[in-house]
Each structure stands twice: as C-alpha cells, then as structure tokens.
A and B are shown apart, each in its own frame.
Chain A
Amino acid sequence: MAVNDSLAALSDSAFTASIVTYSVGVVGFAGEYAFGRRGRVARTSSEQTTVVDGGSNRTDTATVTTSGPGQRLGVVGLACTVLGAGLQIVSLVLRGVATDRVPWGNMFEFASGVVLVTVLSFLWLVWQAPRLRHVGVFVLIPGVFVLVYAGLKLYADAAPLVAALRSYWLVIHVAAAIIATGVFMLSFVVTVLYLVRQRYERGVIEAGSMPRPVAALGPRLPAAAVLDRLSYRTVAFAFPIWTFAVIAGAIWAESAWGRFWGWDPKETWALIAWLVYAGYLHARATAGWKGVKAARINLLGFFAMTFNFLIVNMVVSGLHSYSGLT
C-alpha cells in the first residue's frame, strides 16, 4: 500500500509545532516558577507538609488564591501543554492514517508516544492536584529534549512495517511499552525533584550549607513526602503495565521467533528494568531502604529503560528489527 505523502508531511509539521508549543510552555512555567509570588508556592509546600505529616489534623488548609504575573504565566504554560499534547496526537494520528497502520512502528514514533504519555499523565496529575502545576517546567523540559532528539536522530520516514512486525501483538505490546515508559519517565522526573527537595529539607533542618541548585529550586518544590508518594504511585501504576508489556512481548516472540524467551538483548534489558522496579517496590517496604535509597533505585530503573531504548536498539544487535533506522 502506498504511503500518503501529503498527510505524512502534515504529520511532521504538527510534530514540529508541538515542540514549539511545548517550548513556549516551558517559558510560561519557568516564569511562574521564577516570578510566582514566593509566598504562594512556599505556603503551598508547607501546607502539604502538614497534610502529610499531620494526617487529619490539618491546620493550614486555606487555599491561597493569587493572581499576578506568575499565575498568568502558569496558566499560559498549562495551556501550551494541553495544546502541545493535542498537536502530538494530531501528528501521530496523521502518521497512522498516512501509513495505514498504528503509529508506533519505529523509534521515532515510540519516543513521541512516550513524551505524549508523560505529558498526559502530568496533566492528569494537575487535574487531581492543581497545586502541582508549577512543576510542569520540569516535565516539559525533558519532554522537549526527547522530542528534539527524536526529530533529529531517530526520525524515520512514514513507511509501512516489515512483515515481521505485522501482528496485532505489535499494537498491544508496543502500546503497553509506550504507556509504561511514559509514566516511568514522569516518575523519574518526580523522583529527581524528590531528591532535590529532600536535600533542601534536610539542609533547612540542619541549617547546613546547600548546593546552589538545591537552594534555588528547593523552596518552591512540593514537600518531599508528597513527591516521594507521587513517585511511588506512578511506579505502582506503570509497573503492572510494564509487566503486561513484557508478557505480551513474550507471547509475540513465541509466535514469531519460536520461543517465548531467548535472552535477546532487548528482552534481557526489559527484564533488568522490570527487576529494578520490582526492587524499588520492595525497597519501599523494607526497613532501612525507604526514602533516598529507594529513590535512587527508581532512577536506576529509568536508566535501564533508557539504555534499552537507545543503546540496545542502536548499538547492540539482536532480533528486534524495530528502530526504523538504517
């Protein structure tokens, strides 16, 4: 079947537009972060601290409504995030229509899908807890980075799939992998913020010195306990999906390659990441491993995911003929 070139070109334009829109969003969020009334964000943080630590005996739950340049910039950031996500959806849908297949058939499309999932799950979080909005800057920056990298280094022309990939398991297995990876990426961001905030809170309590970035970012981040719990809940959400993705991959491998598990490098790294995240969930329930140590395991898990996506696809050779790169 022929590829519809004009739709494919339109898809590429929407992709570029989404990067531009997200970048404007970064500026908006960064503005909110920098110019937002210090009082508001700081109060939000302390408020959340009491909610978490004090349980039901909240003392300071009055919502502070402010308007001002910071607030307005934040709204701009949020609007750009929504618009950027919409453009990404348009871009992926057009690619799917142009090639008459699901738009997750190569690394470029995979990376775009992952960022979309990260952004959408962040938007869902903000929907649940609007106070988290200003954290958007830390979600969009890596998102834009990944998209630019994908556009420059991973770009593959809209094309049909090779025979080996024509299976409905591609639809299921890769979709699950994209969703899990996207949410793990959000978890990664939250965990980094947790580590920064944790340093800050400890620094404040011990009144010791703090590295510059920690001192600058720390005061406006949500409380460490909030971030810690958020990073757990994102992993708790993504982990079963990742488990499912690995199982679906094994079922597909059984019908495509003659065995459900063959220690192909891609399979092996999927398992490594799975084990590391299982380790993270355990660490959270193991005395002496909660907090910072567990958070580091979370970072390690995302490192394994990234390694599997970039290095294993492009450097280590295996059976997975997925990259779409030549």
Chain B
Amino acid sequence: MTDTVARLSTAPDPVEPLRRSAGPIVVVRRWWRLLTSMRTALVLLFLLAVAAVPGSLLPQRSLNQSRVSAYYAEHPDLAPILDRLSMFDVFSSPWFAAIYLLLFVSLIGCVVPRTRMHFRAVRQPPPPVPSRLERLPQSATFERDLSPAAVADAATAALRRGRWRVVRRRVGTGGTRVDDDGTVELSAEKGYLREVGNLAFHGALVALLAGLAVGKLNGYEGSILVEEGSGFCNSFQQYDTYRNGPFAGAGDLTPLCADLDRFSTEYEDNLIPARFLAELTYTREIGGPASTYPLEVNSPLRTDGVRLYLTGHGYSPRFTITYPDGSELTDISAPFLPEEQTTLASTGALKLPDRPGAGAEDPQLAIEGFFVPTAANLGDNRLVSVDPRPLNPAVAIVVYQGSIGLDSGAPQNVFRLDQRQIDRGVLERVAAGNLLAGQSLELPDGTEIRFEGYKQWAALQLSHDPGQLTVLIASVVMLLGLLCSLVVRRRRLWLRCRPADPAAGGAATSRTVVNVGGLSRADSGSFDAEFAALVKKLVADSSGRN
C-alpha cells in the first residue's frame, strides 16, 4: 500500500530525531517542524492545562485581591516566593503568555501548510488503484455478466449518486499497467469535509486566541457603586476600581452617563432573591437625549460597544446632622457593604463634610456603623438582621470627632475610618447608640444625628472588549468545524474491473471480475458496514442492467 493511497489526512509526519552534523538551515527547519508537529501540539495542550491549575487553586489578584492578602497573612514565608513566580497572577504571567504564544505560533505553523496540502488534495484526482486490493482493510470480489466498461459505467453512476468523487482510468492509457487487456479501474473518494472541518477548527482557534489578545490589549472595565438618585459618567477618574489594557487610553472611552433612579428587589417566600432591578436613565453624550433602561442581572445594557452590568447591591443609611448653631447637613449617606448576603447586615463609615461655615479649627465628624434592613428586637442592646428586605431598618453607630485625616494625602478606605487617626488620639469617640428610622442621637456638644432611613445602591460595571465578537464567531466556527471533523469520515474506494477471460480482448468480453477495495480511518466507526452495503449495491446495480 503506497503512502499516497493510505494518506487520508493532512496530519504532519512524525519528526525524526535531529542528526548531529546538520547545517544551520536544516536545524532551523527541523525545529520549526518539531514546533508544528502533532507531538508538540499534544505537549502544548497539556502544558496549558497544567499551567492553568495553580491559577484555579491559588487566590488570584484579578479575581479577589483580598484573598491574596489573606493568603499572604497565612503563609508569610511561602507567599512571596509564589508571588515571584507570578502564582497570584497566573493568567497574566510571562510563562502563561509564553505557552499561549507557542501554541499560537504552532497552530499557525500547522494550519497553513495543512491547508495548502488539503487544497492540493482536493484538486488532485483520487490516487490510482493499488496493485493488491485484497491487502486493503476492506476488500471484496464479485463477477458480473457484463463487459468491464459497462460494469465501470454502472459503478460510476452509482457512486456519483452517493456523492463520491470518481475517476476512471483505463489500464494501458496512462493507468498503472501497460498491457491493455480491457481492464478498467475506478478510484473514488468521499468525505473531504472532514479535513475542511478540522482545518476550520484549528484556524478558528487561531482567530479565537487573536480575538482574546485584541480584547485584553484594547479593552477596559470599570466598577462603581451608585446610590439611588445619583449617577456616574464613563471615565477612569470616576470609577472605584478599573482595569484597562495597555492600548486603552482615557481618551478612548465611549461617552456614557447613567443615573440610578430606583433600585428594587423581589424575594421568594424563603427569602432567596428572585429579581434585582436597577432603573437607569442614561445619555450617550453629555446633554444628549436621555433614555431609560431596566437593568437586571443577566440582562446588561448594551450600547455603542460598551456594556453596563448590575453586579451587586446594598443599602446606604441616611442621616441629617443638626449642629448646635442650627445649621444642618441633610441627606448624608454612604454605601455600606453587606457582611452577610442572606440578611444584608452591612457595615460602613461616613466621613462627614465640614459644617457649613466651619473654620479650619472646628473638629470633623465621622460615623462608623452597622446597618440592618430588618432589625429584630432581642431585648439586649444588640442589633440583629433577620430579613434582607427593608422592613424595619436600624443602625448601630459610633460617632467620632476630631481629624479624619482625609487631607493627609494617603488613600483611605471609604468603608472604614482610618484606625491610625483613632490610635493617635486625633479622632475621638464621642457617642454611640442604636437608632430606628426617625430616632436621633445627641452628642455631648449638642449636635444631633438623626437616622432618616436608607437609600439603596447598585454596584455597576462598565466593560468594553473589542475582541468579543471575533471570539464568539471563532468559537461558533470551531464548533461547526469540530462537528464536521468528528462526524464526517474520509474514505476511499477502488474498483478493478477485469475481463474474466483476458484473451478475448477488452470490448468483446461479457464477463467481468470486479475487485473492490476500501480504506477509511480505523477510528471513524463503521466503515465495514458501509463497505458491505456499497458492494451489495454495486453488485445489484451492475446486474440490474442485464
């Protein structure tokens, strides 16, 4: 069986080991072939799989910075070593990128030549009939009372009907043997789509990797907490946190402003959340026409290549401060972070702005608090939340007076007071108490702090990923290619129609011996059955004319 006969795919040949004395060009070419070989593909696939494992088991900065800090605290010796190996940023580490790039290059290096090869194979006729058909994995022999040419005609028609590609060769006129005894040979092939599918799959994988890279380099993402009644615009300064690719500059941001009009939740009887709804009003240019959008989990706002998501929610307690001189600060609120997702008991801090008309010497006020949407009365002085719905909101607050330290320049956590200011004694605890809505707490200096109730806030995330559509299309092509490559079988069939009595000469014979041989990839299922059915059909067809 010759190589061209058996070759049913464009898989690269195994690479032989390198000889010592090879010249530089040979060496480069060998390395290139090694990089694009099946074996390397196998190794790279495993390498990628193995490399992803630590990224899934160790905390990752991109997913949760605070877990990384916790890991540092728990393993003070190990963590720095792991960090130096990029173990907390696995998916953006140089070594992960290296595997990714190698795979990319290897894929291109394998897809391009294989595509050329397959293109050639499609245009070439199926290979000539091998000399010993009975050696093929599938073979059969039958006889018919027809001339070889007539048998070949019938078989050609039958195979073409079955969408086989058929080539007919008359022995002696460029066929495999020189003695013209009237023998006619047919070569047929089917299932080219398998290779097309396989190449589409690998090619689309290249496109997918490219799309991922484009998205990472040019995309950005920002998140922000927005209270009911306020809003934000798409700019890096406004976000609480943001991440941008190296090619995504502040000037490239799509203009978009959104206000949160109202936030609401619905719960099932057992208090699991059934629906979150953030009612938005947004404009796509400053001063432009405003539209509204009901933003929900699983249904982002998509506009102008950016997407706005609802990623979380919580409560902001609301206060009114009345100073002894009668001046007031109204509608003071700050988002509190849920400590418990089931009851939404939340903690946070308010760093109050200066009293209207206050001098530089006047002390500042700060409040640390614990908010519960539905307070249960336990009798003692503790606040406990029993329901995520705001049925009976209450806060426990501790009030501080002094210097908050905002002007020191050091960044502060908005959800907590700066403990160093307290330790240094410049921020002093002056009062504490539990308040239901409408109740107030009086400070020693006569200032009154009134708990007015709550607002809700929504965590919003705005994302832009220019590679996303490429990735989607590429993955659909991958899937279709994969299906073709796994479902379609490439197979070949050969017929040799030989006069039973060669001495009588080609045209005159009326009895023909037909040898049939078939070849398919052993893996691909039941070619035996198909071959048997084909032979049966060929027998039936060529006898039907009789």
- The interface of chain A, by Cβ under 8 A from chain B, is 1-2, 51, 55-56, 159-160, 162-164, 166-167, 169, 229, 232-233, 236-237, 239-240, 243-244, 247, 250-252, 254-265, 268-269, 271-272, 275-276, 278-279, 282-289, 304, 312, 316, 318
Q: Which chain A positions have C-beta within 8 A of B471? A: 260
If A255-B299, A258-B300, A275-B46 touch, whether A268 touches B52 (CB-CB below 8 Å) is yes
Smallest Cβ distance from A51 to chain B, in angstroms?
8
Interface of A, helix, strand, loop or mixed by DSSP: helix
- A263 in complex: contacting residue of B42, B91, B269, CB < 8 Å: B91
A293 → B minimal CB distance (Å)? 10
Closest to B480 in A: A240
Pairwise interchain contact A164-B46, C-beta atoms closer than 8 A:
no
Contact A55 B138 (CB under 8 A): yes
B513 to chain A, nearest CB (A): 17
In the complex, chain B residues whose CB is within 8 Å of the CB of A316? 56-57
8 A–B contacts from the bound complex (CB under 8 Å): A55-B528, A56-B528, A166-B298, A239-B486, A268-B55, A279-B45, A282-B42, A316-B57
Chain A residues positioned under 8 Å from B299 (CB to CB)? 255
Give the total number of A-B pairs whose CB atoms are below 8 A apart.
140
Question: CA–CA, A250 to B211, complex, Å?
Answer: 14
Contact A55/B137 with A258-B300, A264-B63, A283-B42 known, Cβ cut-off 8 Å: yes
- Decide yes or no: A236 and B56 within 8 Å by CB, A56-B532, A279-B46 being known contacts: no
Query: Which residue on B lies nearest to A254, using beta carbons?
Result: B468
Contact-residue size bin, chain B (C-beta under 8 Å from the other chain) = 35 or more
* A51 / chain B contacts, CB cutoff of 8 Å: 528
Q: How far is the CA of A285 from the CA of B465 in the complex (A)?
A: 37
Asked if B41 is at the interface (CB within 8 A of a chain A CB), the reply is: yes
Please determine whether A243 and B478 come into contact, CB atoms closer than 8 angstroms: yes
**B525 proximity list for chain A (CB < 8 A):** 233
- Judge whether B297 and A256 touch: CB under 8 Å: yes
Q: Which residues of B contact A232 (CB under 8 A)?
A: 523
Would you call A260 and B311 a contact (CB within 8 A)?
Answer: no
Q: How far is the CB of B531 from chain A (nearest CB, A)?
A: 7
Contact of B461 with A258 in the complex, beta carbons under 8 Å = yes
User: Residue B275 at the A interface, CB < 8 A?
Assistant: yes
Cβ-defined contact, A257 with B311, below 8 A: yes
In the complex, A321→B263 CA distance in Å? 23
Which of the residues A55, A233, A286 comes within 8 Å of B39, measured between beta carbons?
A: A286
Chain A residues contacting B9 (CB-CB under 8 Å) are: 285
For the complex, what is the distance from the CA of A319 to the CA of B299, rounded to whole Å?
17
CB distance from B486 to the nearest CB of A (A): 5
A250 touches B63 (CB 8 A): no
| Chain B residues within an 8 Å CB radius of A244 | 479
Is B276 located at the chain interface by the 8 A CB criterion? Answer: yes
Given contacts A55-B137, A263-B62, contact A272 B52 (CB under 8 A): yes
Return B59 CB to nearest CB of chain A, in Å.
10
A293 to B53, CA, bound (A): 22
Interfacial residues of chain B within 442-491, with CB under 8 A of chain A in the complex: 461, 463, 465, 468, 471-472, 475-476, 478-479, 482-483, 486
What 0/1 pattern do residues 505 to 534 of B give for CB contact below 8 A with A? Answer: 000000000000000001101001001100
Residue A167 contacts which of B138, B270, B298, B486 (CB distance < 8 angstroms)? B298
> Could you tell me the distance between the alpha carbons of A126 and B263 in the complex, rounded to whole angstroms?
56
